[in-house]
Amino acid sequence: MLVEYKMFEKILIANRGEIACRVMRTAKKMGIRCVAVYSEADANAMHVAMADEAYYLGPAPARESYLRADLILEIAQRCGAQAIHPGYGFLSENEKFAEDCERAGIAFIGPPASAIEAMGSKSAAKLIMENAGVPLVKGYHGDDQSEAVLQRAADEIGYPVLIKATAGGGGKGMRQVWNSAEFSAALASCKREAANSFGDDKVLVEKYLTKPRHVEIQVFADSHGQAVYLFERDCSVQRRHQKVIEEAPAPGMSDALRAQMGEVACQAARAIGYVGAGTIEFLLDQDGSFYFMEMNTRLQVEHPVTEMITGQDLVEWQLLVASGEPLPLAQDELCINGHAFEVRVYAEDPDQDFLPATGQLKHLRTPKTSKFVRIDTGVREGDSVSIHYDPMIAKLIVWDKDRVSALARLRNALADYQVVGVTTNLKFLSHLAANQAFIDEDIDTGFIARNKDELLPPAKPVSDEVLALASLYTMLKRDAEAKAQAARSRDPHSPWNLITGWRLNEDNYHHLLFVREHDHVREELAIQLHFRPEGYLLELSGTELQVSGDFGPDEELRANINGKRLTAQVVEHDHSLIIFALGDAYRLGVKALSAGGDSDDGHGRLSAPMPGTVIAVMVKAGDAVQKGQALLVLEAMKMEHTIAAPVDGVVAEVLYQAGDQVQGEAELLRFETV
């Protein structure tokens, strides 16, 4: 007998940013009306503009807005939403919220509360998986959380070990420990971060594999007892235990190993009565053995690479399954087509240990989308990256027929990505996509540390060609301004309104002064620019360049340098020119800027790298400190940042205490060098 299932007419997305926009795109395609919620910081956000209705939650901090489960449920009832999609993060793995939705007669577009609860604790999840016959890494997952018991367990397991918060995820509350002497301090830091991030400081300890790969299986199950796997993703390249680039399928994966891991993943899902989209994460060792790490009971950030190689819309699958329908396809109907990569474009500084960045997106240009290139984002030009939420700007996803072709697509797309206003990881991602070890599939979770010098090379000096572009841009802008001024003047034909080189009894040239940085050295570059009928003659560094050009569509700079034609996008920001050209981005100061830094009176200063909250102070005035010693811990963007002594010295004054809020660049303490 044919059973008819009724699809939702209206859903509420209990999330923000990129994932809220992603869910809405599929829902609208299916004819479903979408309700957004927003915090004070997100009043003008992209996901609010996309929604059919939007409701205010509260102030910017997540605990006062996006984590207000009671208010979100009340809004869903008030607006007549039949289901809630939690996205990822926030309430997506909150079993109580799932239970409350069920009691209120509102479908939770995710697994049953019992499955979330079963996998919500990493230690409990491992016991369930062990009973289900899923292979595990040796470790301690017990309830006794005393330091002595945890230390003894680590000593018995053998170093190195990994301490992990049993709740939450996203790389928070995780510490690698290489010997017994480091364990106590690492445990305290891990528990503190876990408590702040998840409200639960319980941890587990497990053996740390030195060269594993992080391979995860996308599973899907319905309420009719069916479960399938949509193959695997390799997420091995990580910083701060958070993924940087994901690809599907995993390189070097045999059909036999893929089937084995897939069946184990489905077995794990069945063991907890799973329904919906989920991810089983495994550590894959060099010998082909694999071990259960954790299960994410939600849609993953990296789900688009799976969609690209299978041709399936996983959000559509979620909506179908949540409305009671069976899975759209059986296992033997699923197949892999081509290869896909996803990189996370973040507001962060890779040169400063990937420290999150904040600011306004003054200029934003993205690659053209097609069947080969996809961009999932929740921001637009002019939006701000704040301290309150994850600093991801977008996900860039590429697809092609094989890994080599897809990597080429990725390199080209990254070269076309332009962001001004916040520091980003775009250049780092470009180095990664071009890295020979990555191209050769020499990948594991220690990839970034092992290839750090190649992935984070010193900044290259700005070439004469780029200086020529900066000079041409400057003169064309000045010419446009002069013409506008002439048009407004009483005598628009006056030669004093021109910059064409006409001077009374003077040679026809201008001086331009730029500043470029190379190997932490600031260099002033004086350029003499002579006017010529066909453009300009530039004298710089003993070289002469003939330059001409104009502005094309979208203010694109079209240049001819010694007969070579090229285009560039130039953006003015913070007394500098940012020049996007030749597949890279270059920054030139338009005047000498103060380098800042330490004073020369023997007193050092340590500043907050970004706005945040002081959560621990380890020293007091008068304490002698050694280079590298932890002085203070700052929490920003839900992560801990330890401020350490840059040199040996004595603390002269502590300016903030635990609990204090600080602004970016605020001086935290003073010390005297010895």
CATH number at residue 191: 3.30.1490.20
Structure tokens belonging to residue 162: 């990994």
Query: Is residue 674 pLDDT above 80, yes or no?
Result: no
Residues 570 and 646 in one domain: no
147: number of Cβ within 10 Å:
12
Read off the pLDDT band of 502 (50, 70, 90). Answer: very low
Within-domain flag for 77: yes
Within-domain flag for 596: no
Active-site residue identified among 68, 298, 516, 587: 298
Amino acid 595: pLDDT? 26
Residues 262, 471 contacting (CB under 8 angstroms): no
Query: Is residue 668 pLDDT above 80, yes or no?
Result: yes
Domain count across the chain: 5
Choose one of 589, 617, 650: the last residue of a domain.
589
Structure tokens belonging to residue 176: 């690698």
Residues 623 and 554 in one domain: no
Residues 539 and 437 in one domain: no
Amino acid 479: pLDDT? 81
Query: Is residue 497 pLDDT above 60, yes or no?
Result: no
Rounded CA separation 87/379 (Å): 17
Residues 298 and 410 in one domain: yes
pLDDT in tens, 624-660: 998 888 899 887 655 567 788 878 889 999 999 999 9
Residues 509 and 433 in one domain: no
Structure tokens belonging to residue 289: 């053995």
Within-domain flag for 125: no
Give the range among 306-315, 395-404, 663-672 with minimum mean pLDDT: 663-672
Residues 630 and 570 in one domain: no
Within-domain flag for 338: yes
Within-domain flag for 473: yes
Nearest to 560 by CA among 477, 464, 472, 499: 472
**Beta bridge pairs of residue 350:** none
Read off the pLDDT band of 489 (50, 70, 90). Answer: low
Q: What is the CATH number of the domain that holds 401?
A: 3.30.470.20
Query: Is residue 498 pLDDT above 60, yes or no?
Result: no
Choose one of 162, 189, 207: the last residue of a domain.
207
**Beta bridge pairs of residue 294:** 281
Count Cβ neighbours within 10 Å for each residue of 418-447 and write b for 16 or more, e otherwise.
bbbbbbbbbbbbbbbbebeebeeeebbbeb
* pTM of the predicted protein model: 0.80
**Mean pLDDT along residues 574-585:** 90
Read off the pLDDT band of 594 (50, 70, 90). Answer: very low
Structure tokens belonging to residue 321: 């399954």
Q: What is the CATH number of the domain that holds 96?
A: 3.40.50.20
Residues 362 and 503 in one domain: no
pLDDT in tens, 445-469: 999 999 999 999 988 778 899 999 9
User: Which are the contacts of 445, defined by CB distance < 8 A and separation ≥ 6?
Assistant: 211, 212, 213, 214, 236, 237, 238
Q: What is the CATH number of the domain that holds 633?
A: 2.40.50.100
Within-domain flag for 119: no
Choose one of 564, 589, 614: the last residue of a domain.
589
Residues 422 and 533 in one domain: no
Within-domain flag for 526: yes
Query: Is residue 503 pLDDT above 70, yes or no?
Result: no
Mean pLDDT (the chain) is 89
Query: Is residue 273 pLDDT above 70, yes or no?
Result: yes
Q: Higher model confidence: residue 581 or residue 460?
A: 581
Amino acid 261: pLDDT? 95
Residues 155 and 35 in one domain: no
Structure tokens belonging to residue 376: 């999932």
User: Which are the contacts of 49, defined by CB distance < 8 A and separation ≥ 6?
Assistant: none
Residues 40 and 147 in one domain: no
Active site residue 298: yes
Amino acid 496: pLDDT? 45
Domain span at 192: 138-207
Q: What is the CATH number of the domain that holds 509?
A: 3.30.700
Residues 426 and 311 in one domain: yes
Q: Which residue pairs, CB below 8 angstroms and at least 24 apart, start in 536-541?
A: 536/471, 536/472, 536/475, 538/467, 538/468, 538/471, 540/464, 540/467, 540/468, 541/464
Q: How many residues would you count in the chain?
A: 674
Residues 225 and 365 in one domain: yes
Within-domain flag for 124: no
